Amino acid sequence: MGAAHGHRIRIEQGSEHVRVERDGQVLADSRRPLLLHETGLPVRYYLPREDVSMDLLEPSGSHSVCPFKGKASYWSLPDGPQDVAWAYPEPKEEAAAIAGHLCFYDTEVVGD
Ordered domains of the chain (ranges, CATH)? 3-110 (2.170.150.40)
Task: Give the pLDDT of residue 4.
Answer: 53
Confidence at residue 107, expressed as pLDDT on a 0 to 100 scale: 84
Report the pLDDT value the prediction gives residue 111, as an integer from 0 to 100: 67
Q: Average pLDDT per run of 10 along the chain, which is 112 residues long?
A: 69 96 93 96 96 97 95 94 95 96 89 64
pLDDT value at residue 6: 76
Do residues 108 and 21 make contact, with C-beta atoms less than 8 angstroms apart? yes
